[in-house]
Amino acid sequence: MKIGFLGLGNMGQAIAANLLKGEHELRVWNRSPQATQSLVELGAKAVTEPAEAFDADVVFSMLADDKALRLVLLDSGLLKQLKAPLIHVNLATIAVTFADELAELHKAQGIDYIAAPVMGRPNVAAAAQLNILAAGPEQAIDTVQPLFDLIGRKTWRLGEKASAANAMKLATNFLLVSAVEAMSEAAVLVTRHGLKSADLVDLVSNTIFTGPVYSGYGALIGERRYEPAAFKAVLGLKDVDLILAAASQVQVQMPTADMIRANLQDAVDHGQGEMDLAVLAEVAERRNPA
């Protein structure tokens, strides 16, 4: 297939590299061109304009947020220039309402739109072990399934309505940030009782809370190691804003999300927004001065 890929952050680079392993023709675009270099060395072709990346059978996008995607695809007028047959797979975590808008705008152009946000950190993406939450036209998902198999361990199909995938991803992200917040608070509790937070993490990640969230983020909290960031606190704040917006849309109250949002804003206000989400542990420390 001819594949386009837009957005080459840590996740995007890892995913694009795995698509190349399928020996497909890959065109890559990023706002900062230097991010394309490593993929060019692997066989991709760098393009200077997003429209060139859309000269393809399938285009993957993983842009930073709703604003970036809207700027590249809608405000530029690019979407109105595109023609079928074309499948656009959006891997980013975006607002539920924006996903609905994109699905309708693509449909009006005769283009298949698939929402496919992914679960996993950059190391998981590099190992092609992502979980892919996919929703959109079934036939289009069937077409790109071999590509999903190159980048992930499992594709979770969530129906024809594209925004369903984004709602599910936001729910999983809420559970993730809640777990990190809980670990942060528990770490302060045990350290104030003369225990090591690393011992707490070792205990729970090998007993009642096995899995990558507690072992991975827990290790960062135990070691107070927040850089380099795999998932930046500022992006966590963006996601919690999307979670609260999705909840408001269906009149659901999420007081825990409100509290976590305030704590993430505290991290950003203290110049820690570019650090890993695990920096919530520092917020917990500030909230509980010795």
Residues serving a catalytic function are 169
* CA atoms of 190 and 88, how far apart (whole Å): 48
CB atoms within 10 A of CB 168: 17
Could you tell me where the DSSP H helices lie in the chain?
A: 10-20, 37-42, 50-53, 66-69, 78-81, 96-108, 122-126, 138-151, 163-192, 197-205, 212, 218-223, 233-249, 255-269, 280-287
* CA atoms of 53 and 228, how far apart (whole Å): 30
* CA atoms of 282 and 211, how far apart (whole Å): 23
Give me the half-sphere count of Cα atoms (radius 13 Å) on the Cβ side of residue 251. Answer: 0
Q: Hey, CA dihedral for 116, 33, 78, 249, is it positive or negative?
A: positive
Residue type, 173: N
* CA atoms of 228 and 219, how far apart (whole Å): 14
Contact of 90 with 115, CB cutoff 8 Å: yes
β-bridge partners, 131: 119, 154
Whose tokens are 């380099």? That residue is 228
β-bridge partners, 115: 90, 135
